[in-house]
């Protein structure tokens, strides 16, 4: 292992970037940005504790759909038939580490297994696993969002004086 990087003096990036402004995203903007990326993190409860797993997704209307394989940890959150589902959160972001510009979106809602065979086949064709499956990739989980929140980090416009305006340059 090369430890040269560890021995280098730390660079303080606080002076390297202009002031930032955080702008709240509308529900539509947040879902559009979420649909522009394919990887995020699902947050669920495992043994009464919060758990987070990176997964790939797609946005179908307002629903977020993820696929998983037999034996995956996500299989443990499958809701019993007839229930409204299991409460989960789903987060995705794009934040540039150098410019500190970008966005983050969080969707919170009920997750249920997709049981319709035609829908499952459709999602299987659209959602390609990004890791080698350890079983059959035959399950899809649909998250119906109740809450959709998001923010966008933009460069504060110094000419505005009060910080109310911002340039629209971002990392999306």
The per-residue pLDDT for 107 is: 98
**21-74 confidence digits (pLDDT tens):** 999 999 999 999 999 999 999 999 888 899 999 999 999 999 999 987 665 677
**106-128 confidence digits (pLDDT tens):** 999 999 988 888 998 899 889 87
**71-100 confidence digits (pLDDT tens):** 567 766 766 667 788 999 999 999 999 899
The per-residue pLDDT for 1 is: 39
Q: In this structure, are residues 21 and 156 in contact, taking their beta carbons and an 8 Å threshold?
A: yes
In sequence order, the 6+-apart residues with CB closer than 8 A to the CB of 113 are: 78, 79, 139, 140, 141, 142
Q: In this structure, are residues 138 and 124 in contact, taking their beta carbons and an 8 Å threshold?
A: yes
The per-residue pLDDT for 163 is: 44
Q: Is the pLDDT of residue 11 over 50?
A: no
- Give the domains, in start order, of the chain with CATH numbers: 18-160 (2.30.110.10)
The per-residue pLDDT for 135 is: 54
Q: In this structure, are residues 36 and 152 in contact, taking their beta carbons and an 8 Å threshold?
A: no
The per-residue pLDDT for 128 is: 79
pTM: 0.77
The count of other CB atoms within 10 Å of the CB of residue 30 is: 23
Q: What is the dihedral of CA 51, 56, 61, 62, to 10 degrees?
A: 20
């Amino acid at each position: 292992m090369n430890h040269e990087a560890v021995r280098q003096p730390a660079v303080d990036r606080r002076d390297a970037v202009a002031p930032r402004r955080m702008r709240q995203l509308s529900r539509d903007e947040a879902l559009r940005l979420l649909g522009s990326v394919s990887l995020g993190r699902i947050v669920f409860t495992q043994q009464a504790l919060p758990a987070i797993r990176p997964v790939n997704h797609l946005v179908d209307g307002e629903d977020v759909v993820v696929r998983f394989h037999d034996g995956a940890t996500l299989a443990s959150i499958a809701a019993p038939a007839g229930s409204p589902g299991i409460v989960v959160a789903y987060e995705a972001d794009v934040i540039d580490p150098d410019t500190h510009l970008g966005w983050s979106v969080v969707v919170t809602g009920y997750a249920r297994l997709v049981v319709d065979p035609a829908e499952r086949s459709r999602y299987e064709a659209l959602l390609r696993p990004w890791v080698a499956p350890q079983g059959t990739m035959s399950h899809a989980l649909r998250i119906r969002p109740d809450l959709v929140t998001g923010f966008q980090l933009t460069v504060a416009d110094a000419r505005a004086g009060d910080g109310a305006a911002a340039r629209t340059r971002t990392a999306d």
